[in-house]
Every structure is written in C-alpha cells, then in structure tokens.
Amino acid sequence: MLTSRFTDAIDYARIAHATQTRKGSGIPYIYHLLGVASLVIEFGGSENQAIAAVLHDVIEDCGDSHRESVRTRFGDEVAHIVEACTDGSAESKASHQDTGSKRADWVRRKLNYLDHLSKTDPVVLLVSGCDKLHNARAIAQDLEDPSVGVQVFDRFTGGRDGTLGYYHSLATIFASHKVPIARQLNVAVERMHQLAGTDERLPLQDRI
C-alpha cells in the first residue's frame, strides 16, 4: 500500500524538476518519473522502490545538494537506490563543455555504470531496469514516428551507435540477473535496433 511518503516524493520531484522537459519535447520531466514509478509498482516493487523511482534522477539532473535531502526525508533505503541509479551529478556533467569532452565523459560514466549494475543488489536493479525500459520504449516510439525517426539519436551524447550499444549491454545485464523487466526490455531494445536499421547487436565497449 502506498502512503503519503509516495505523494510527498512526487511533490519533491515536481519541484526539483520543475523547469525540465524530456529530450526533444515539451513534456514535463515528471512524466518520465511517474512512468518509471508505475513500472516499479507493476512489477511488484515496494513503496521505497516506487519512491526511489520518482526520485531516481534528482541528483543526476538537479544536483548534489539533493543527496542528503533525499536521505533525510525518505530514509536510507530510498537514498541508497537513488544513489545507485545515478551515474553522475548535474555538476559533474556540466563541467564538460566541448563535444569531445562530453563524449569521453559519457563513455566513461556509462561503462562504469554497466560495471556497477553487474554487481549491485536486486532492490536497485528493479528501479534501474524500469528506468531503462521506459527510456527504451520512448526511443522506439520516436523511431516509429516519421517526423523524428533516426534523428532521435541526435539528442543523445552517445549518438546512434553508442546509444544502441549501451541499451544492448543493459538488456544483457538485466537478463543475466533475471530482473522482472528483462523480457520487456529485450523486446524494446530489439525494436530499437530494427527501427535504426542495423543488424549489429554489440555491447557498448565494442562500439567505442
């Protein structure tokens, strides 16, 4: 059963992400956070996991100051999951200005995050997996849209090959850990490859 802690988390995220929208759209960012939380609930997650889903991007997109605030307001387990779903803070990402530096930082962060995911605990894997599933479905949807198509990859630092390699690697890790979302993520990632017009199914480290 969800309590007022969950609605408090939604309000926290609404304020923290108030000025942000999804890449390539004017959709308020909280749409993604609610979508991930919905998937966590659908796949049997706890209230703490659902709360962490709502807050999973708050450090990465809104800054380091939210680390202790999340822990104080929502507890150690939620803070642990949010931290484990974060591959860099808003401040660390903003420190890279030119295209080459941003790309190198993106590759480093994603490879480190993949290594981290391969060793982390199930409570984190469900939330992270639901995040990646929601993102993969959104990318596939844009690829199906004639007005967007493969240009969707222009929104991402990794470009087409890096993005596809990253999601291929993610799908492999979640499948190996038997995370409940693994089958659906495999379907979405396979659809991404088909719509992108590539027969290659390579992990990120083989695409950089």
Residues with a catalytic annotation lie at 60-61
Cβ-Cβ contacts under 8 Å for 103 (sequence gap 6 or more): 157, 158
d(CA 196, CA 152): 10
Q: How many CB atoms lie within 10 A of CB 144?
A: 12
d(CA 128, CA 84): 8
How far is the CA of 64 from the CAs of 2, 69, 92, 157, in angstroms? Answer: 27, 10, 9, 22
| SS3 label, residue 21 | strand
Check if the beta carbon of residue 75 is closer than 8 Å to that of residue 48. yes
Bridge partners (DSSP) listed for residue 28? 21
Tokens 């890096």 belong to 162
